[in-house]
Structure 1
Amino acid sequence: MNLSQNKWLILTILSLIWGSSFILIKKGLVGLSPVQLGALRVVFTGVFLFSVGYKSLKTLHKSNYKWIVLSGFIGTFFPAFLFAFAETEVDSAVVSILNSLTPLNTILIGLSVFKIGATRRQFFGVIIGFVGTAILIAAGADLNPNQNYLYAGFIILASVMYGINVNLIKRYLQNEKPLAIATGNFIPIVIPAFLILIFSGFFDSSTLQVDGIYSSIGYVLILSIFGTALAKVFFNNLVQISSPVFASSVTYVMTIVAIIWGVLDGERIGFIQIVGGAIILFGVYLANKKRGN
């Protein structure tokens, strides 16, 4: 399989995995608080990655440790909590659409921080994408008045962090092994996540008696192994064999999967929301036409 075919295969696999992550977060929140879910996700993923990837840590260059640590916090730790909090108020399908802002933020951050050039078409794509976001949030607030769409800001913030992380990996960690990057990311974040889990009351006897707690833990375990651990390895590889914009475009392909899961779970998606989502995707499409990927 040549490089071009390989990157499209990885993109497809990631879309299916990450597209299913939003519904898993929603199910996990049935018996867990957002803080508990975020912390447990990091702990589960860290244990899994250490068990399969600890030998790969020897291949990391010491000069890149600081980038590994930074990538771990902005690419995994903080987003794990931001997504959990967002889905307490916003439907999982809408969260997935908002997450498709990641490629646009990747371009903006690449231009402003990493000095990666952008075309006029990409600027139009960014503007169109943010117009779609405004429509989506406004329409969602009208369709679901009981939901607090201010929580959509958590997803926008997470997409900015993802944009920084993609550029960081491409610029500084291009020559490191994907498994080593993923495993190294969790060295600095597992301990604080475990401490948060302790102080969240997760291990209290009363918590373990909450209805749905064990099924929620099961959903988070699946999310951690597939949606975080394996997906991070795939994604790190995708960033290395393609461009940052192409790699981040997984966020709008996986939106289709997430919307299907949301509808099957009874979430309401209005016509105006679909229009807003389509505008975002069109903006991302324009932005993704920078140059040959």
Structure 2
Amino acid sequence: MRPADILGIGVLASVWGTNFLLVEEALEGLNPIQIVLIRLILGAAALLLLARARRTALPRGGAVWLKLAGMGLLGQAVPWLLFAWGQQEVTGALAGVYTGLTPLMTVPVAWLLLRERPTAAEVGAAVIGFAGLAVVLAPWSGGERAPLGGQLLCLAGATCYALAYSYAGRLMRTLADGKLSLAAAQALAASAIMLPAGSGQLAHPVRLTWLIALCLALLGAGTAVAFLVNYWLIARVGPVRASLAFYLIPVVAVVAGLAARGERLNPNEALGSALILAALAALYVWERTREARPAPVPEPAETR
């Protein structure tokens, strides 16, 4: 990967990792559906304004919009809602750790849904990662662990991300539109679907402070940036390498939670997080080793 690609991955990890802290602050005055709707609408508005300023046309054709709507729901609206619900019970730092499971979740997802047989290294990394998940969930512990319901919601959100990334690679190969056009259309389609479903929630009482308003504005701006950078990365390096951003999200989320809110992981969460990070590191090293391995040279054909 080139330096620009690594920078893009760092931007994604920073935006997504700090989003958990922003959502946690916003939950002090709004409910999860309100947060997701505002986040989607602000992100879509920013992307549409940028597309208009650059005279970029939106995609045409109902089939394209249907695919982008599915991607927006699976990759943004639904997991954001699941994580926001989960964060009513668990910390943003722990929610960020669950997001780090996404690259590991793609292994069983690709095998079960796409019929892509995993390698031994991928299976090994997934086993270590899911062992870490079991330690984080810690069903054998008493009051030390975070509420199981909130953790399962975060796990479901990570599964949505894995499904979305598995789908994104195929989707990008079938669409010829530019990255800004696709990002704006996806955000708009997801907003259009979520708005009727959750519009009644917008009328519910909110407690809006300057801090909460700032968090919502940053969530909207971050949504626009993440949409653009994500499409840009997938087009340049493919969905597998683009998902490397998820390897860094747990670190960013834990550091942000500790710095801003003094959040600390309990012993089970810390040990489980270490296992998940070890699995991610093993998977990353294996991928780099495979990339560096020279391609076999075909033997010359025999002449008679």
TM class by shorter chain equals 0.7 to 0.9
Q: 1:248 matched to which residue of 2? A: 243
Q: Which of residues 20, 25, 28 is equivalent to 2:26?
A: 28
Distance 1:261 1:168 in 2: 30
Q: 1:286 matched to which residue of 2? A: 282
Distance 1:69 1:248 in 2: 20
Q: Deviations over 1:137-188 (max 9, x none)?
A: 228975656x423211122111121112112221121444222221111232
Are the structure 2 counterparts of residues 24 and 252 from structure 1 closer, same or farther at C-alpha, using a change threshold of 3 Å? same
Larger mean Cα displacement after TM superposition, 45-54 or 259-268: 45-54
Q: 1:134 matched to which residue of 2? A: 134
Q: 1:90 matched to which residue of 2? A: 90
Distance 2:279 2:86 in 1: 23
Are the structure 2 counterparts of residues 141 and 248 from structure 1 closer, same or farther at C-alpha, using a change threshold of 3 Å? farther
Are the structure 2 counterparts of residues 90 and 287 from structure 1 closer, same or farther at C-alpha, using a change threshold of 3 Å? same
Q: Which amino acid aligns with 2:233?
A: L
* SS class of match (2:152): helix
Distance 2:29 2:264 in 1: 22
Q: Which amino acid aligns with 1:132?
A: G
Q: Which amino acid aligns with 2:196?
A: L
| Pair 1:216-2:215 in alignment | no
Q: Deviations over 1:188-228 (max 9, x none)?
A: 2223433345311x345xx25x3x445323312211211x1
Distance 1:11 1:88 in 2: 28
| Pair 1:185-2:186 in alignment | yes
Contact residue 53 and residue 183 of structure 1 kept, 8 A: yes
Larger mean Cα displacement after TM superposition, 25-34 or 62-71: 62-71
Are the structure 2 counterparts of residues 180 and 144 from structure 1 closer, same or farther at C-alpha, using a change threshold of 3 Å? farther
Larger mean Cα displacement after TM superposition, 157-166 or 189-198: 189-198
Q: Which of residues 241, 263, 269 is equivalent to 2:258?
A: 263
Distance 1:128 1:224 in 2: 35
Are the structure 2 counterparts of residues 127 and 26 from structure 1 closer, same or farther at C-alpha, using a change threshold of 3 Å? same
Q: Greater Rg, structure 1 or structure 2? A: 2
Q: 1:160 matched to which residue of 2? A: 159
Contact residue 41 and residue 80 of structure 1 kept, 8 A: no
Q: 2:301 matched to which residue of 1? A: none
Q: If the length of structure 2 is used for normalisation, what is the TM-score?
A: 0.84
Q: Which runs of 5+ in 2 are unaligned?
A: 293-304
**RMSD of aligned Cα (Å):** 2.4
Distance 2:63 2:203 in 1: 38
Contact residue 25 and residue 219 of structure 1 kept, 8 A: yes
Distance 1:61 1:270 in 2: 50
Q: Which runs of 5+ in 1 are unaligned?
A: none
Q: If the length of structure 1 is used for normalisation, what is the TM-score?
A: 0.87
Contact residue 69 and residue 185 of structure 1 kept, 8 A: yes
Number of residue pairs the alignment of both structures matches: 284
Are the structure 2 counterparts of residues 110 and 61 from structure 1 closer, same or farther at C-alpha, using a change threshold of 3 Å? farther
Which 4+ runs in 1 deviate beyond 6 A? none
Contact residue 14 and residue 234 of structure 1 kept, 8 A: yes
| Pair 1:225-2:221 in alignment | yes
Distance 2:269 2:137 in 1: 8
1:81 positional shift: 0.9
